[in-house]
Amino acid sequence: MSTTTQVKIHNFSAGPCILPQEVLRKAAESMIDYDGTGLSIIEMSHRSKPFEAVMAKAQSLVKELLGAPDNYQVVFLGGGASLGFHIVPLNYMKPGGKAAYANTGEWAGRAVKESKLVGETVVVASSEDKNFNYIPKGFDIPADADYFHFTSNNTIFGTQFKQFPKSAVPLICDMSSDIFSRPVNVADFALIYGGAQKNMGPAGATVYLMDPDQLGKTGRKLSPVLDLKNHASKDSMYNTPPVYAVYVSMLTMQWMKDQGGVVEMERRNAAKSKLLYDTIDRLPMFKGTTAIEDRSVMNPTFVMTDAAMEAAFDAQWKAAGVSGIRGHRSVGGYRASMYNALPIESVQVLVDVMEDFAKKNG
Amino acid sequence: MSTTTQVKIHNFSAGPCILPQEVLRKAAESMIDYDGTGLSIIEMSHRSKPFEAVMAKAQSLVKELLGAPDNYQVVFLGGGASLGFHIVPLNYMKPGGKAAYANTGEWAGRAVKESKLVGETVVVASSEDKNFNYIPKGFDIPADADYFHFTSNNTIFGTQFKQFPKSAVPLICDMSSDIFSRPVNVADFALIYGGAQKNMGPAGATVYLMDPDQLGKTGRKLSPVLDLKNHASKDSMYNTPPVYAVYVSMLTMQWMKDQGGVVEMERRNAAKSKLLYDTIDRLPMFKGTTAIEDRSVMNPTFVMTDAAMEAAFDAQWKAAGVSGIRGHRSVGGYRASMYNALPIESVQVLVDVMEDFAKKNG
Q: pLDDT-based confidence at B8, cuts 50/70/90?
A: confident
Residues 177-206 of A with CB under 8 A from B: 195, 197, 202-206
Per DSSP, what are the bridge partners of residue B177?
A: none
Residue A6 has pLDDT above 80, yes or no: no
- Tell me if B153 sits within 8 A of B296, measured CB to CB: yes
| Contact assignment for B42 to A19 by CB distance below 8 Å | yes
Measured between beta carbons, the chain B residues lying within 8 angstroms of A174 are none
Evaluate whether B10-18+261-361 and B23-259 have a shared fold: no
Residue A329 has pLDDT above 90, yes or no: no
The domain locations on chain B are 10-18+261-361, 23-259
Q: pLDDT-based confidence at B36, cuts 50/70/90?
A: very high
| Contact assignment for B45 to A14 by CB distance below 8 Å | yes
Q: Between B17, B28, B195, which is nearest A28 by CB?
A: B28
Burial class (CB in 10 A: 0-12, 13-18, 19+), A2: exposed
A317 classed as catalytic: no
| Contact assignment for B9 to A114 by CB distance below 8 Å | no
Our CA-based measurement puts residue A25 at a distance from the nearest CA of chain B, in whole angstroms, of 7
- Tell me if B271 sits within 8 A of B42, measured CB to CB: no
| Contact assignment for A40 to B25 by CB distance below 8 Å | no
What's the CATH code, domain B23-259? 3.40.640.10
DSSP track, A12-26:
--SSS----HHHHHH
| Contact assignment for B45 to A324 by CB distance below 8 Å | yes
Residue B329 is predicted with a pLDDT of: 86
Measured between beta carbons, the chain A residues lying within 8 angstroms of B82 are 224-225, 238-240
For the annotated catalytic residues of B, the residue numbers are: 107, 174, 198
Query: What are B157-212's pLDDT values in tens digits?
Result: 999 999 999 999 999 999 999 999 999 999 999 999 999 999 999 999 999 999 99
Q: Which residue has the higher pLDDT, B153 or B7?
A: B153
Measured between beta carbons, the chain B residues lying within 8 angstroms of A325 are none
Q: pLDDT-based confidence at A2, cuts 50/70/90?
A: very low
- Tell me if A232 sits within 8 A of A191, measured CB to CB: no
**Mean of pLDDT values over A213-229:** 97
A107 classed as catalytic: yes
A318 classed as catalytic: no
Gap between the Cα atoms of B290 and B167, Å rounded: 25
**Mean of pLDDT values over B29-37:** 96
**Mean of pLDDT values over B85-103:** 98
> Rounded to whole angstroms, what are the CA distances from A280 to A16, A153, A314?
25, 20, 16
Measured between beta carbons, the chain A residues lying within 8 angstroms of B242 are 78, 203-204, 242, 245
Residue A4 has pLDDT above 50, yes or no: no
**Mean of pLDDT values over B50-56:** 97
Query: What are B329-357's pLDDT values in tens digits?
Result: 888 999 999 999 999 999 999 999 999 99
Gap between the Cα atoms of A359 and B153, Å rounded: 67
Residue A248 is predicted with a pLDDT of: 98
Measured between beta carbons, the chain A residues lying within 8 angstroms of B32 are 1-2, 24-25, 28
Q: pLDDT-based confidence at A27, cuts 50/70/90?
A: very high
What's the CATH code, domain B10-18+261-361? 3.90.1150.10
Measured between beta carbons, the chain B residues lying within 8 angstroms of A86 are 223, 225-226
Q: Between B19, B37, B223, which is nearest A117 by CB?
A: B223
Query: What are B256-314's pLDDT values in tens digits?
Result: 999 999 999 999 999 999 999 999 999 999 999 999 999 999 999 999 999 999 999 99
Instruction: Name which of B18, B5, B44 is nearest B252 in CA terms.
Output: B18
Gap between the Cα atoms of B64 and B95, Å rounded: 35
Residues 233-292 of A with CB under 8 A from B: 238-245, 248
Query: Phi, psi at residue A256, to the nearest 5°?
Result: -60, -45
Residue B7 is predicted with a pLDDT of: 53
Homologous superfamily of A260-361 in CATH?
Aspartate Aminotransferase, domain 1 (3.90.1150.10)
A328 touches chain B (CB under 8 A): no
